[in-house]
Chain A
Amino acid sequence: MFKLIHAEFYKIFHRPAFYILLTVLPLLAIDLVLIAIRGRNAGTMTGAFDVAPQMLSYPAALLPFVTELTLGEELRDRTVKNTIEYGTGRGIYFVSKLISTILIGMLFILLVYGAYFAAAAFSLPPGKGVSPGLARAIFSRIGTAAAVYTAASAMSIFLLTIFNRSVLAIFTYYGLFYISELFLDVFRLSRLSDYTLHAQISSLTGEDPPNLGFILAVSAVTFLVFSIGGLAVLRKKDLA
């Protein structure tokens, strides 16, 4: 497993698209500092902390591009056969891709928030001051969002194992993630809309204090469902 993850990072570090994301994402984060200047507690570090949770919905939108880097291209270019024909179990392969996706996703999140808070600290005055309570509240939201992204990674990888075309998987992901509540309404299942990943992210970006335990539980169940589903599909898949 470790060997596969190590190799995954070797591959990613030789991927031009990775460096494009590595450059563009922090720049976008720094851009958001400018928004913080216009927002509440205008032009202060406190304002930057106020705006930070609103960024939590963006990583979910970027996740399909990370799964494309890890698993999507392997399925599309049919390079997965080079791994499986050497005797690597499909389960090990699937889990290693999932872990790699999560690690790379976390790397991006750290980078984005690192750039954001560093830019804010360098360019903005402290304002009313950042209390430990405010920092704890913000970082606990970011940490809980990581669990939602982990579940979204499993969903994205599950879709890639079903569809051989990455584009189809990406669009289905966006559909499932962003407009699942709409579908639930159509099928008169709106009582389930509190359990979607999008609802959890909305809760984390909202003004009201989120129920972190509930969000973690929904993320864990979603992660398990899509991981088991993806593994089952991959086990039966013709890989050559």
Chain B
Amino acid sequence: MNSFIIETLGVSKRYRGFTAVSDMDIQVKKGAIYALVGQNGAGKTTLLKMLCGLTPLTAGKIRLFGESTARGLQNARTRTGAMIETPSFLPYLSAKNNLEYLRLQRGSGSKRSVSAALDFVGLGDTGTKAFSKFSLGMKQRLGLALAIMDGAELLILDEPINGLDPIGIKEFRDIILHMNKENGTTVLISSHILGELSQVATDYGFIDHGRLLEHITASELEEKCRRSADSQSQKEDISLEDYFIDLIGGGKADV
């Protein structure tokens, strides 16, 4: 049995007259923090949606925890926590009631797991405040609380630090690193903030126009950046941002 938690085999998603993801093969090892890097519209969110079962595939195959059948994928997803695009919750319910509603749906954990998840993301004292009155940062935290509530072995996070202030970003990073180091949680994360990704990622997948351009480990990337800086006689290593812009052909990177 291989150690890949996520495998996509020739996955494609086509909408009418537009290909969002084309023949994508990615592999995420157990325990990795895999960063998906790409411009707006590169296909990152579509790929994550397909992994989470939110949008059907046009072609290809997905394997999660070694499972690729419809039933197997459903079971695998119960071991997964996800946060795709903006977190969505029922606007009139409090943070606690929203999570309790979803806990009852899933039939997982206990009421204490809800409180523990809220405390973990710093929302333990929001009381009866309705979700509709939450700031963007609080919404992001609640999305993360849902993702980690059931002790997920795999986290799929799409732009999770959007809207967070610098303290929130640091706390978020600490949570991800804690879950990865302490619990061995595998993380697949996409973000526009490349500096932030470079502080947590163990692997990178660079995608553009729905295609995977390159998969590289953090240490390989570091080495490449160093060599690239040497060849250009620069005093400092080139950054992840520079590397990515260079990779996609020097175009204006919307990252």
Contact = CB atoms under 8 A, between A and B. Distances in A.
B89 A15 contact: no
Interface string A170-202: 000000000000000000000000000000000
A77 B90 CA distance: 7
B100 A82 contact: no
B104 A7 contact: yes
Interface size class of B (residues with CB under 8 A): 35 or more
Contacts of A236: 56
Nearest to A235: B56
Contacts of A239: 54-55
Nearest to A79: B88
B41 interface: no
B84 interface: yes
B98 to A, nearest CB: 8
B107 interface: yes
B50 to A, nearest CB: 10
A136 interface: no
A128 interface: no
Interface residues of A, number: 27
A185 to B, nearest CB: 36
A85 B50 CA distance: 10
A14 B97 contact: yes
Interface of B: 45, 49, 52-56, 70, 73-78, 80, 82, 84-85, 88-93, 97, 100-102, 104-107, 146, 150, 156
Given A10-B104, A87-B77, 12 more contacts: A7-B105, A10-B101, A79-B88, A82-B89, A83-B105, A85-B53, A86-B102, A87-B53, A87-B76, A236-B56, A239-B54, A240-B52
The 6 closest A-B pairs by CB, nearest first: A87-B77, A7-B104, A85-B52, A7-B105, A87-B74, A78-B88
Interface of A: 3-4, 6-7, 10-11, 14-16, 73, 77-79, 81-89, 235-236, 238-240
